[in-house]
Structure 1
Amino acid sequence: MVAEAREVGIVVVFYHPDAECIRRANWFAGFGTCVVVDNTEALRTAVDLGLRADVLYLPNGANLGVATAINQGVAQLLERGCSYALIFDQDSEPSAELLTGLPALVERALRARQRVALIGPAYDDARLGGTAPFVRFKFPALERIEPAGTEPIPVDFLISSGSCINLKAWHDIGPMDDALFIDFVDLEWCVRAQVKGYGVFGSPTLHLAHFLGGEPIRVLGRSYPSHSPLRHYYLFRNATALICRGYMPWTWKWTELTKMPVRLVIYGGWLKPRRAHLAMALRGIWDGLTGKMGAFDRG
């Protein structure tokens, strides 16, 4: 059972794209309606970039964040009558099997009368040791589930890149949270979907190569994804803000609260410039507590 191409839409978020990003976007257009939302701080045209004429290009001329970009892209797909939205970062390199397989899985679930919000692949990150496990929120620690078998696995969240959203549920669940800007955007949406009674599933048979964070650092024999000081601001701010929200699961809140001091020590002690990483993380915690959301204000 394969979803018709006219029902499938693809949203790609650009930020200073290179030639490979353009090539991938042009290739995506062969699988359905492709919307490119460009958060680069300059206004360019599709012709300037070398995008195909059938790629819908939305240049923002500013970095409006991942959440807003996804929302803009999905809005265009809904206007065009799409039923499924595949979401990708600009550097995601999915297979043709994934591009056709994920919408087919969502369609199969809907035909079986399952309330499904999205289905996503297993993620391969060679830098962090191979295929990442799927995750459920449990106490006292996250439950990590190996991607095994042939049937989609109920999980508690998936990263947005590579996931296929059931657009029939979009208006009920609501859009991504613009205020988060970046980081935990996908997790918050998955939680909100489950609060509304929709399921989130990981497909163990479909894989996507994806780098989870920057170049890893090793601390006491264990690898941790690294980020810039600015990304650590968003990570700590959004985690803090979400911990304060009543609908977020207490099991997730517990794991974040226990991880936060460890992350502060690792990022403030091992990543250079140490003072900048620690200062931005602490400012993020403060802004999360005081409700200062959206794009980082350098003032």
Structure 2
Amino acid sequence: MTGEGDDQSVGAVVLAYHPDASLVDNILALAPQVGAVFIVNNSPGDESTVFDRLRTIPDVEVIDQPGNVGVAAGFNSGMRRVFDSGHRYAVIFDQDSTAPAGLVEGLVRAYRSFGPGAGIVGPALRSGVTGHEFRRERGSGVGVRETLISSGALFAREVVDRIGLHDEGLFIDYVDHDISLRAGRRGLKNLKAFDVVLDHRFGGAVPRRVLGRDFFVADYSPTRQYYMSRNRLVLIRRYGFGPWFWEDLSYFGKAWTKVLLFEDDRPQKIAAFVRGVRDGLRYDRSIDDQGAGVTS
């Protein structure tokens, strides 16, 4: 990575796929916190006016992709642009995350306060639908976490130089687990900054009501179920059954209980899950975090 400039500067990357108008509000909240915002358009040909509106915002650049290149390649495209523009830090977001004032400053402060050995830094998470802060996200100060989700993750240039960018072979799902685990393998500590909170939507957040109780299901598409199934196995083969796996197993059990009981298109999702298991077992192990799967 090259580029000179203020070593405290931050560039933001926002991955966009057929966004609605709420993305404009999210960018307006984020832009004052960073030096520049790079929006990766993973939906070329989108006929909505959202991207037209985004192009009029100062210090916002839209990076058009040739098609849906996936989460990993999309984030990588934006992060390269951030670092080539001279920023020291890249902070990445999904389109459905809202960054409250002070979030980016808090992430940088957490990274700098930890000192040598700091890896990726992420905020505490709060549901953008219910406003509920998840139990695992409650705390104060800075804590060490094995894995962080992509949205809200801060990467210092020196960390990326050490660990590389996201594994584009994974395409979507577990991309954040992979780069987090790779940072740990390279001797870095990933940090959760509990004092800054990101509002984030998980999946489609489709409401359901059973026995008078309201709750939400993610209702991920069969395609997403395929990649979650495949990439979970890829990571097991790559990193083994560490703490990340047991935490993910709990999530997997709850998620599939909802799929089987409350979500639509269950036969298609089950079939996609099975295909993912098959392809995860067949995945070429030579394409790992030392090889062609990571663009540095």
Contact 2:16 2:43 in 1 (8 A): yes
Q: Which residue of 2 aligns with 1:48?
A: 52
Task: Check the 8 A contact 1:26/1:55 in 2, yes or no.
Answer: no
- Aligned residue identity for 1:72: S
Q: Does 1:225 align with 2:210?
A: no
What's the TM-score, normalizing by structure 2? 0.81
Which runs of no fewer than 5 residues in structure 1 stay unpaired?
135-145, 294-299
Determine whether 1:34 maps to 2:27. Answer: no
Q: Does 1:288 align with 2:280?
A: yes
Deviations 1:176-229 (A, max 9, x none): 110111111111111100110111111111111112222255789886533122
Residue identity over aligned pairs, in percent, reads 31
Between 1:187-196 and 1:88-97, the stretch displaced more is: 88-97
Aligned runs of 1:134-283 on 2, under 5 Å?
A: 134=136, 147-149=138-140, 151-215=141-205, 225-245=218-238, 247-254=239-246, 256=248, 264=256, 266-283=258-275
Question: What TM-score comes out, normalization by structure 1 length?
Answer: 0.80
Please state whether the residue corresponding to 2:102 is helix, strand or coil: helix
Which whole-Å deviations, capped at 9, do the CAs of 1:123-170 have from their partners, x for residues lacking one? 111657821244xxxxxxxxxxx5222x20111111111121122110
Paired position in structure 1 for 2:100: 95
Change (3 A) 1:152 1:291: same
Question: Matched residue of 2:77: which SS?
Answer: helix
From 55, 66, 69, the equivalent of 1:64 is 69
Structure 2 residue ranges without an equivalent (≥5) = 1-5, 288-296
Return the alpha-carbon distance in structure 2 between the equivalents of residues 33 and 148 of structure 1. Answer: 30
- Over the residues paired in the alignment, what is the CA RMSD in angstroms? 3.1
Give the structure 1 partner of residue 294 of structure 2. Answer: none
Deviation of 1:42 after TM superposition, in Å, equals 2.1
Q: How many residues matched?
A: 275
Structure 1 stretch 197-206 or stretch 119-128: which is displaced more? 119-128
Decide which of 96, 104, 112 is 1:107's aligned counterpart. Answer: 112
| Structure-2 residue corresponding to 1:75 | 80
Determine if contact 1:237/1:284 at 8 Å carries over to the other structure: yes
CA distance in 2, matches of 1:10, 1:94: 11
SS state at 2:43 partner: coil
- Per the TM alignment, residue 258 of structure 1 is displaced from its structure 2 partner at its CA by 7.4
